[in-house]
Structure 1
Amino acid sequence: MKKIILLGDSITAGYEEGVTDFRLNEQIEVEFKELEVINAGIPGDTTRGALQRLEAHVLRYQPDVVTVFFGANDVSTIMGISIEEYIANLILIVKQIGEERVILLGVPYCNQNLYQEERGMERLELYNRAAKEIAANYQLPFIELLYIMQEKSNLYLQKDGLHFSRAGYELLGQLINQELKKRKGVENG
């Protein structure tokens, strides 16, 4: 059985009102019934934390595919992850997992009425551009979320303006599934 690991923060974990429910797994499992989906999303995590837990939460499982989805917390001015560290961390994560296994996701949009100071659009775009450049440099599939989500942020985000709504997870699941369908050896269920 092929194995995919979803590596990320609370958005990957499926966070809603203080509870995680792995709803992203469900979105993938609907189309890929023969795929083992392991969720390695940790609320509050950053690329720095991901590096510390990469062996225990990802590499030891020998996955066929790993989605790498960080940025919501890294971009926060409160977390202290500079753009330079974000880039260096993402590159290390990609290299340790192996480029052939990685699907890289860009930074998600967050409600600018609520997060302008902490996660302003200029900062979101800077971190997103960095992730996109890493994807291009390492020839990784890249999932662009920032601008797609911005168009319908009221639909895709919960009231907190940061975490995904059910519609947001449907969108995210569809985008990941599109990339999985392009990979050889990952069959639909």
Structure 2
Amino acid sequence: MMLYKLRLTFVLIAIGLNIGVQAQDFIPILKKRAYLNNSYQKLLKVTDTLKIAFIGGSITETNKGWRDQTMQWFASKYPNAKFKQINAGLSGTGSSLGVYRIDEHVLNHQPDLVFIEFAVNDYKASKHHILEAFEGMVLKIKKANPKTDICFIYTFSEAMLESYEKGFYPNSIIAMEEIASHYNISSVNFAPDIIQRIKNKTLAVIGPKQHPDSTYFSSDGVHPYENTGHLYYTQTLTKALDKLLNKGKRFNSKKDIYYSAQLEKAKMTHLETQMFNGIKAEIPPPKFSSLIQNIFALNQVEDLLQIQFKGDRIGFMDIIGPSSGTLKIKIDDQEPQYITRFDRFCSYERLHWFIIDGLAPDIQHSISISLAPNRIDKARILGKATDTEDYKKETWRVGKILMVDK
């Protein structure tokens, strides 16, 4: 369990949100650093449409969860206003992919308000990667439109419980709070309310949806139930929004860079036919069609992807699942490295990504990717039989290149 040195204790407060946390400074669930002034002004103008974007992992992506419930609250609270929801949640992904895809999946829609939720999926990420990715997203949003409001959202998982109970913030939230503090971004932490319910024995972390004696947060300790975990999330957020939706302190977009501006130019770009040896583009499965336009599939050891690029990193967004295999990757004159695109969650298809960094930043590189000849013991990884045709295949289906600038 990863613990940070910042000590916290749960306390009750008499006004506003009912649960807070105390460290060297008093830190409530709502850390109000700036009002959502732009959004508030849009709500007052019934002729305008308030465009609200949500970017995060599966907790954000899921239908009828805190995202949809929050939109319902907006519609009920402001019946004369117009709204557009932008759902950029993507299951199983963290901020290190979010910073690459935020342009296409969020900023192209010109949002007025952006909620960023990656606390759970970034739980095991390094502080370096969190700071770099979150600062990159903030810089991108403000470059696209300095008036756009931002709010960080911190969700809860069972893995975080021990840290909180011992009086420590999870590492992901510590890093995100550094960026929020530097750029005057308000943040809302969903965890204290959930933990207080657990302490009061009115909520258990894991259990079936229906039980005569108990109420449960989730089935797995991560993904909340619609009528408990997600509902409590929404209640916490909407209480905070009642305080944030006001005319007040504006976001200061002229502060110095806090950690790194490296990923301000991070982007996704399309793959092109000439990068492959005769492989043609395919239409992605329908459930991914809103996020990727086409895919290329390596199906044989002879199939090859070759790219020349300049920069200190390159990555790919791909579709992994039962048919995924191992990649042989060669960069410049280095020895080949092997990356397995199959894990314990590959009983179903999902979008995923990987990034190779630490390269010399100012020279041109060449990367070639093919399927490795060695086969994966998929039954061992999954702990179950894998005798269907999909599991017998060894493929790689790739949809986007992840690059910085060039």
Same fold (TM over 0.5): yes
Within a 5 Å distance, the mapping from 1:85-96 to structure 2 comes to 85-96=129-140
| 1:176 aligned residue | 237
| 1:18 aligned residue | none
Within a 5 Å distance, the mapping from 1:1-189 to structure 2 comes to 1-14=49-62, 21-33=63-75, 34-76=82-124, 81-98=125-142, 100-106=148-154, 108-111=155-158, 115=159, 121=163, 125-152=170-197, 154=204, 157-166=217-226, 167-181=228-242, 182-184=244-246
CA 1:120/1:93 → structure 2, altered by over 3 Å: closer, same or farther? farther
Contact 2:152 2:188 in 1 (8 A): yes
CA 1:95/1:175 → structure 2, altered by over 3 Å: closer, same or farther? farther
Q: Which one has the largest radius of gyration?
A: 2
Per-residue Cα deviation, 1:36-72 (whole angstroms, up to 9, x for no partner): 1221110001001101211110110000000000021
Q: Which ranges of 4 or more aligned residues in structure 1 deviate by more than 4 Å? A: none
Which residue type is aligned with residue 173 of structure 1?
T
Which residue type is aligned with residue 51 of structure 2?
K
Shift of 1:103: 0.4
CA 1:145/1:29 → structure 2, altered by over 3 Å: closer, same or farther? closer
Shift of 1:109: 2.5
Shift of 1:22: 4.4
**What is the TM-score normalised by the length of structure 2?**
0.38
Shift of 1:75: 1.3
Q: Percent identity?
A: 23
CA 1:12/1:156 → structure 2, altered by over 3 Å: closer, same or farther? farther
Identify unmatched segments of 5+ residues in structure 2: 1-48, 76-81, 199-203, 205-214, 248-406
Instruction: Using the TM superposition, name which of 25-34 and 158-167 deviates more.
Output: 25-34
Identify unmatched segments of 5+ residues in structure 1: 15-20
What SS is found at the alignment partner of 2:170?
Answer: helix
Which residue type is aligned with residue 183 of structure 1?
L
Contact 1:105 1:143 in 2 (8 A): yes
Contact 1:68 1:103 in 2 (8 A): yes
Following the alignment from structure 1 to structure 2, what is the Cα–Cα distance between the partners of residues 66 and 162? 22
What SS is found at the alignment partner of 1:173?
Answer: helix
**What is the TM-score normalised by the length of structure 1?**
0.77
Shift of 1:27: 1.0
Contact 2:58 2:90 in 1 (8 A): yes
Which residue type is aligned with residue 134 of structure 1?
I
Shift of 1:170: 1.5
Q: Which has the higher helix share?
A: 1
Shift of 1:183: 2.6
Q: Which has the higher contact order (CA 8 A, sep 6+)?
A: 1
Per-residue Cα deviation, 1:118-162 (whole angstroms, up to 9, x for no partner): x96389622212222221211111101233322235256312011
What SS is found at the alignment partner of 1:104?
Answer: strand
CA 1:35/1:179 → structure 2, altered by over 3 Å: closer, same or farther? farther
Q: Which has the higher strand share?
A: 2
Per-residue Cα deviation, 1:70-128 (whole angstroms, up to 9, x for no partner): 0212113xxxx31111111111111111274210112x3322xxx48xx9638962221
Contact 1:13 1:22 in 2 (8 A): no
What SS is found at the alignment partner of 1:12?
Answer: helix
Following the alignment from structure 1 to structure 2, what is the Cα–Cα distance between the partners of residues 25 and 176? 10
Instruction: Give the count of matched residue pairs.
Output: 169
Which residue type is aligned with residue 69 of structure 1?
E
Which residue type is aligned with residue 224 of structure 2?
F
